[in-house]
Structure formats: C-alpha cells, structure tokens
Amino acid sequence: MATKGTPADKAKSGTVQGEGDYVAGRNFDDAQRDFVESGKAQERAGAAGPKDGAEAADMAQAEQKGKARSKGEAPGDLKGGKKAQR
C-alpha cells in the first residue's frame, strides 16, 4: 500500500523507492560517515600513493596531461594564468 500525500510526506515516511530511495540513501551516507570517522579512509589513501619515484613521476605527468586539457574551472588547474588551447 502506497503512502498518500505529497512527495515530502513520502520522503518523511521513507516509502519513496527507486531513484528516490531515501532509506538506502541514508544508509549509504551513514556507512560512509562511519568509514571516514574510523580512520580507515586515511589509511587506505596512504596505501594508494605511488610505490616509488618512477610511479610518482608517471602520476605527475598524467596529472599535468589532464590539466592541459582543462578549461580551468577548478582553482589551481592552470598555473600562471595560462589558458588551455582548444
């Protein structure tokens, strides 16, 4: 039986399903918050870093190659006011 009322009423009751599955969204948000607060996020971020100098250089080169195609929307994408060529 579907909850009657406005979409806001359905959201409060948790009965909206599909792309508006509020219960699943809350569960996901709670799980992500718990993961970050547990300290495991920092631990795994450190493990994802480059293994050696060569890998660090490859990563830096790939980053610069990606930024070279940027339109510069994000701060720091293009240093020195240089604009990307199309």
With vertex at residue 9, the alpha carbon angle to CA 3 and CA 11, rounded to the nearest 5 degrees, is 90
Q: How far is 76 from 67, CA to CA, in rounded Å? A: 9
Cα–Cα dist 22/15, whole Å: 8
CA 17/CA 3 separation, integer angstroms: 11
What pLDDT is attached to residue 86? 44
| pLDDT tens readout for residues 30-68 | 999 999 999 998 888 888 889 999 999 999 999 999 888
Dihedral sign for Cα 11, 13, 14, 15, please. Answer: negative
Mean pLDDT of the chain, nearest integer: 78
